[in-house]
Every structure is written in structure tokens, then in C-alpha cells.
Amino acid sequence: MTPTTNKIYPLPAVAALIANPKNQILIVRTHKWSGLWGVPGGKIDYGETIETALKREMREEVGLEIFDLQFAFNSEIIEDPKFHKPMHFVSLEFVARCNEDVVTMNEEIAEFAWVTLSEAFNYPVNVYTLRLLEWCKIHNFPGRI
């Protein structure tokens, strides 16, 4: 493996699958994952708590205020060829809720969709999002409509 210019490995990151009041979940398509669908997320800044980073990333990427954060699992992402550059992340994967469904995309997001959990399985999602969708199915998130 060839390390990138960053000297601190792995980078801590957060991501969340967000449910709206209709129990639809938000998935996003981004160029960073070779056009695959996934969930919003990003790096934890130095001195930032996990919860603060997660809420900030959701505001920055999709303009949503989230609550009822629940940790699902962590993903270790080591130079995944689907990611736009070689990186090593440890991503803390969450589920959360929001009170609205108006998405304001930043430049990282190419497209978004509010879908049911079963509909999300029909999208070409990255492997980490697929694992999160499977976790949601087992744990009944976001619940029945």
C-alpha cells in the first residue's frame, strides 16, 4: 500500500442514515464513491466530538438537523478502489432522525432520494451503505410506516 500525504492514520469519520417523519431514509449519490449511492458523512475534525462532527456533516452535506442518534457499527475503509483516492478511514456508522425532508445539497452530493428501506436495496450502493441497510433491516430502523 502506498500512503497518501496524510501522516495520521486511520482518519476518524462519521456517517449516518437519516429517517424523515414519513420513515423514509435518505440516500445520496456522490462522485467520491464512483457514482455509487451511500449516506452523508465525513471526517471528524481535531477537537470535535463524534456527535458534533456527525451533526455538522449532516448540516454541511444535506442541510438537515438530526436527532435520536444511534450508533450502529464501525467500518474500516482501507484504500477502497471505489473511493476517489487512496485513504484509510475508520467510519462510525449511525442512524438518526430529522423533522423535515427538504434537502440542501452541497457540492459533494450529485443526487439524493428519500426512499423506503426496501427501495434502498434496489439502488447501486457502496458496500458500507449496504451493510448499514442490512443493519437497519435487522434492527427495524426506521420502523414500520
How do beta strands 66-78 and 41-43 pair?
A: unpaired
- What pTM was computed for the model? 0.91
What does the DSSP 8-state code read for residue 125? B
pLDDT-derived band at 143, boundaries 50, 70, 90: confident
Tell me: the pLDDT tens digits for 55-64? Answer: 999 999 999 9
Closest CA to 70 of 144, 145, 135, 24: 135
Tell me: the pLDDT tens digits for 87-123? Answer: 999 999 999 999 999 999 999 999 999 999 999 999 9
Closest CA to 28 of 131, 123, 127, 135: 123
- Bin 32: left if φ > 0, else alpha if -120 < ψ < 50, else beta: alpha
Domains of the chain, first to last: 11-139 (3.90.79.10)
